[in-house]
Amino acid sequence: MKPLLAPSILSANFARLEDDVKAAEKGGADYFHLDIMDGHFVPNISYGPMIAETMKRITDVPLDAHLMITNPREYIPMFLDAGVELLYPQIEATYDIYRTVQMIKDHGGKAGITLNPGTPISNVIPLLDLLDRIMLMSVCPGFGGQKFIPSSLDRITELRQMLDEKKPEVSIAVDGGVDLSNIGTLRKAGADFFIVGSAVFNADDIQQRVRDLKKAMK
Q: Which residues are catalytic?
A: 35, 175
User: Closer CB to ligand DX5, residue 3 or residue 167?
Assistant: 3
User: Closer CB to ligand DX5, residue 102 or residue 202?
Assistant: 202
# residues near Zn ion by CB under 5 A: 3
**Strand-pair partners of 178:** none
> Which listed range, 4-12, 90-98, 100-108, 116-124, lies at the site for ligand DX5 (CB under 6 A)?
4-12
Instruction: Judge contact between 142 and 42, C-beta under 8 A.
Output: yes
Tell me how far CA of residue 16 lies from CA of 22, 30, 94, in angstroms. Answer: 10, 20, 36
User: Closer CB to Zn ion, residue 94 or residue 146?
Assistant: 146
In the complex, minimum distance from the CB of residue 205 to ligand DX5, in angstroms, rounded to a whole number:
17
In the complex, minimum distance from the CB of residue 144 to ligand DX5, in angstroms, rounded to a whole number:
4
Q: How far apart are CA 178 and CA 213, in angstroms?
A: 10
198 binds ligand DX5 (CB under 6 A): yes
* The amino acid at 136: L
Residue selected from 144, 175, 186, 216 as contacting Zn ion according to rule CB under 5 A? 175
10 binds ligand DX5 (CB under 6 A): yes
* Sign of CA pseudo-dihedral 189, 92, 125, 4: negative
Largest distance between two CA atoms of the chain = 46
In the complex, minimum distance from the CB of residue 94 to ligand DX5, in angstroms, rounded to a whole number:
18
- In what side-by-side order are the strands of the sheet with 4-7? 4-7, 193-196, 171-175, 133-137, 110-115, 86-89, 63-68, 32-37
In the complex, minimum distance from the CB of residue 8 to Zn ion, in angstroms, rounded to a whole number:
6
Binding mask 127-156 for ligand DX5 (x = CB under 6 A): ------------x-xxxxxx----------
62 binds ligand DX5 (CB under 6 A): no
User: Closer CB to ligand DX5, residue 147 or residue 165?
Assistant: 147
64 binds Zn ion (CB under 5 A): no
In the chain, which ranges are E strands?
Answer: 4-7, 32-37, 63-68, 86-89, 110-115, 133-137, 171-175, 193-196
Task: Please count the other Cβ atoms lying within 10 Å of the Cβ belonging to residue 118.
Answer: 10
Contact set with ligand DX5 (CB under 6 A) = 8, 10-11, 33, 35, 66, 139, 141-146, 175-178, 195-199
